[in-house]
Chain A
């Protein structure tokens, strides 16, 4: 269920909606596409309610879904189909369809059978079909969800290029922060059907509103903490090197793994035991266990400790953020 008080989109704005599975992201897109009607409230495009709207309004919206939903015909005919439904004649439809395929670098696939395409190719065709109608509003529902990392990156490169400097308003939903943030002018973090934070991408990354948002953004370390009278942030009662800007109280410390520095045990009061070391892309990835689990990344040229070593931990405050824990409501 969605419970959104108000969400305004400017023409040409690119909104990323970030949320975990089941947060209501797809429901939001279905409401925007006019495929579902809200039980209360309304969804409007240019001031007109989309639910129950005439076809002309719905046809201003392009929608690319998680599954490409291609039909058992050629690629170019798949892309032509929505143009046919909009009454374009044969030559104009073919030209527009080929142009849309060209924008996504897949013009060479035009005469292929759509059901014989690879996952990445099929998603590009699905996107070309949504773009071919030159939509006023483009809805993207995790369009690269089923693709491996490399194909996904290439897909978003092509998407970014295809959108170019067009004035199309875009709503892109995903549970992957890195994908949603790269296309966005603004980010809405959606959990449990409600918007937890709505701001520009940099603010969401640098100052997540709460623990849930911090986890969704991808902070590897989200730790229970306490701020003491001298504004030092304490992890398990030991200062970690971060100074808070607010007064004493319970807090959460969100820190990137690159902000967690491993030092000698006598250099800092915060200590942990090395539980696991593995090689990541261009780095060592360490799992450190005290009363809470921490994740640290070291460059390959840094000598890693051994599993079982007791180490000191210091957290770099420039890559960490203190989130004040909201006091729980008093019992009635």
Chain B
């Protein structure tokens, strides 16, 4: 078994990177779903909402089949790598980020986009201002995306393979310890994982609640 700090660092690296990419992709998609007027929004919104509920093992299975050496993306040699795990976690966290972004922007006063346009905003200025207005739900999207990524075990096991020294992360370690009947170590890992999740969420929650309190006070 790897040393705890090494596994913890790997978990944080994979999940934070996946969350950052999920935000970079999910926030624009959610924004387009909330504000766009083109056809196809309904279908994509349904896909996003469905994506929020897909079991992580299913995502892991699909990603593994795509990245498998004989699969369509096998030449990229991403199976059993941290990059492959990040791809799977982006697919898990992305729909959550997009869905919460869409809901957050749709909860703003419906006339606000037109009011900002009438004040002279161009499209980038408009979108940035709406993101600032929806900062509380956007931070919730970040927290939900990170929480989903760091806690999932299905895709990490299937795509990463729990290879010691390479792709073992906290959740796959816990599964391994339980499989060996070593509940004490499993509990230690679980406690450390919880502490990591708590620390990162505490920071995000603090920022979110300050933003909410500032706007309303």
Query: What is the interface of chain A, defined by CB distance below 8 A to chain B?
Result: 30, 33, 35, 55, 58-59, 61, 63, 65, 67, 69, 71-73, 81-82, 85-86, 113, 115-116, 129-130, 133, 139
Contacting A59 at CB < 8 Å: which of B112, B120, B217? B120
28 examples of A-B residue contacts, CB within 8 angstroms = A33-B118, A35-B117, A58-B117, A58-B120, A59-B120, A63-B115, A63-B119, A65-B111, A65-B115, A67-B115, A69-B109, A69-B112, A69-B116, A71-B129, A71-B132, A71-B133, A72-B132, A72-B215, A73-B215, A81-B119, A85-B119, A85-B122, A85-B125, A113-B216, A116-B216, A116-B217, A129-B119, A133-B119
DSSP class of A's interface residues: helix, strand, loop or mixed? Answer: mixed
Complex CA–CA separation, A85 to B119 (angstroms): 9
Do residues B119 and A72 form an inter-chain contact, with CB atoms below 8 A? no
Min Cβ gap A327→B in Å is 44
**Cα separation A91 to B103 with both chains bound (whole Å):** 37
The answer to whether the Cβ of B107 comes within 8 Å of any Cβ in the partner chain is no
Residues of B whose CB lies within 8 Å of any CB of A are: 109, 111-112, 114-122, 125, 129, 132-133, 214-217
**CB-CB < 8 A to A61: which residues of B?**
118
Q: Give the residue name and chain of the B residue nearest to A56 (CB).
A: B120
Secondary structure of the B side of the interface?
helix
**Contact status of A69 and B111, CB under 8 A, knowing A113-B217, A115-B215:** yes
Q: Which A residues are in CB contact (< 8 Å) with B114?
A: 30, 35
Enumerate the 4 nearest inter-chain pairs by beta-carbon distance, A residue then B residue, closest first.
A72-B215, A63-B118, A69-B115, A59-B120
Contacts of B116 in A (CB 8 A): 69
Kindly list chain B residues whose C-beta atoms are within 8 Å of the C-beta of A81: 119, 129
A82 close to B215 (CB less than 8 A): no
Given contacts A35-B114, A65-B115, A72-B215, is CB(A85)–CB(B120) below 8 Å? yes
Partner of A113, one of B111, B119, B122, B215: B215
In this complex, the member of A30, A69, A133 whose beta carbon has the largest number of chain B beta carbons within 10 angstroms is A69
Measured CA separation A67–B133 after assembly (Å): 16
Q: How far is the CB of B60 from chain A (nearest CB, A)?
A: 40
Q: Can you name the residue of chain B whose Cβ is closest to the Cβ of A71?
A: B133
Q: In this complex, what residue of A is CB-closest to B135?
A: A72
Contacts of B215 in A (CB 8 A): 72-73, 113, 115
Given A65-B111, A67-B109, also A133-B133 (CB < 8 A): no
Q: A81-B129, A85-B119, A116-B216 are in contact. List 4 more A-B contacts (CB 8 A).
A: A30-B114, A55-B122, A71-B133, A85-B120
* Bound: A69/B217 CA distance, A: 17
A71 to B121: give the CA distance in the assembly, Å: 14
- Assembled-state Cα–Cα distance A115/B133 (Å): 12
Taking the nearest CB of chain B, how far is it from the CB of A66, in angstroms?
8
B217 CB contacts on chain A under 8 angstroms? 113, 116
Residues of A within 8 A of B111 (CB): 65, 67, 69
